[in-house]
């Protein structure tokens, strides 16, 4: 199974650190974020990684090569010409992600998310008809993905502004189950056919794609029991990240 790590972002919330290094190489516990994530994925049985790069791309590539690719097969999806966002990043990495079997899935993981997710457990709970399975949690936020009782995606809302986005006209968020997206998702290779058929190309968010397509294709949410996660996207989260790594015995 393959996994894609989103490492192309500018890391603006981690400035001034990211003025000189990419977010993926921001150190936590003496090692870069991407170091901890790559070894976690390797421990989960993943042997092939696709990493997209844009901001200080050569620094990320050199670091991974200096680690002998962590004993894995690593490909780089080079976006230095255009930062394609999350959906466009997956679309652009098509040739690196496909196996030729549309029934296969790959994992997508933000580089700045730490979690205790059991990846084999996630694979075992995947609905057979899923285009994608989004790891979600009940953490408090302003922006929520909306699901029906079967945990199929039906929309999105921003509680602070009252904005609702959904392919279902008149969707009432109060009738839906609300969960926060964890930045981790399992994606079917069948997504590339939909990208082509529905003209998804260039720069676009995977959230925009999911919300536009969820009425036509089954996209599910799943709440792993005991899930703990931390978004290491801000400077103030770095001390907490070190505590998280020690608690969950990540590789130092």
pLDDT digits (tens, 9 = 90+) for 221-247: 999 999 999 999 889 999 999 999 988
In the prediction, which pLDDT does 103 show?
Answer: 83
Q: Phi then psi for 183, rounded to 5 degrees?
A: 80, 20
Cα–Cα separations (whole angstroms), residue 85 to 44, 109, 206: 26, 13, 8
pLDDT-above-90 percentage for the chain? 91
Phi, psi of 90 (to 5 degrees): -65, -45
Q: What is the pLDDT of residue 100?
A: 78
Q: What is the pTM assigned to this prediction? A: 0.94
Q: Are strands 2-6 and 48-53 parallel, antiparallel or unpaired?
A: parallel
**Confidence grade of residue 252 (pLDDT, cut at 50, 70, 90):** very low
- pLDDT value at 248 more than 90: no
Instruction: Delineate the domains of the chain, giving CATH numbers in brackets.
Output: 2-247 (3.90.550.10)
pLDDT given for residue 102 in this prediction: 75
Note the residue count of the chain.
252
Q: Which residues is 229 bridged to in the sheet?
A: 115
The per-residue pLDDT for range 29-47, each reduced to its tens digit, is 899 999 999 999 999 999 9
Whole-angstrom distance, CA of residue 62 vs CA of residue 193: 33
Instruction: State residue 34's pLDDT score.
Output: 97
d(CA 203, CA 218): 23
- Over the stretch 45-55, which tens digit does the pLDDT of each residue have? 999 999 999 99
pLDDT at 161 exceeding the cut of 60: yes
SS3 of residue 113 by DSSP:
strand
Q: Give tens-digit pLDDT for 97-121.
A: 999 787 899 999 999 999 999 999 9
CA 128 to CA 126: how far, in whole Å?
A: 6
Local confidence band at 250 (pLDDT 50, 70, 90 cut-offs): low
**By the 8 A CB rule, do 133 and 72 touch?**
no
The single residue listed with the structure tokens 């799943």 is 222
User: What pLDDT is attached to residue 249?
Assistant: 62
């Amino acid at each position: 199974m393959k996994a894609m790590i989103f490492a192309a972002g500018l890391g603006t919330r981690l400035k001034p650190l990211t003025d000189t290094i990419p977010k993926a190489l921001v150190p936590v516990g003496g090692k870069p974020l991407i170091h901890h994530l790559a070894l976690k994925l390797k421990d989960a049985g993943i042997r092939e990684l696709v990493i997209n790069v844009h901001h200080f791309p050569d620094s990320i590539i050199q670091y991974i090569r200096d680690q002998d690719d962590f004993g894995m097969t690593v490909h780089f999806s080079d976006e230095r010409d255009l930062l394609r966002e999350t959906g466009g990043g997956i679309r652009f990495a098509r040739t690196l992600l496909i196996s030729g079997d549309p029934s296969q899935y790959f994992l997508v993981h933000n580089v700045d998310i730490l979690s205790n997710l059991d990846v084999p457990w996630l694979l075992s709970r995947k609905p057979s008809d899923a285009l994608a399975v989004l790891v979600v949690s009940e953490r408090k936020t302003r922006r929520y993905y909306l699901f029906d009782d079967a945990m199929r995606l039906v929309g999105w809302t921003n509680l602070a502004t009252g904005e609702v986005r959904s392919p279902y006209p008149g969707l009432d968020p109060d009738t839906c189950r609300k969960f926060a997206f964890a930045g981790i998702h399992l994606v079917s290779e069948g997504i590339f056919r939909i990208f082509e058929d529905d003209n998804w190309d260039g720069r676009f968010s995977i959230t925009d794609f999911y919300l536009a397509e969820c009425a036509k294709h089954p996209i599910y949410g799943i709440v792993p029991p005991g899930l703990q996660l931390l978004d290491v996207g801000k400077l103030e989260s770095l001390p907490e990240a070190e505590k998280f790594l020690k608690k969950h015995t990540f590789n130092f």
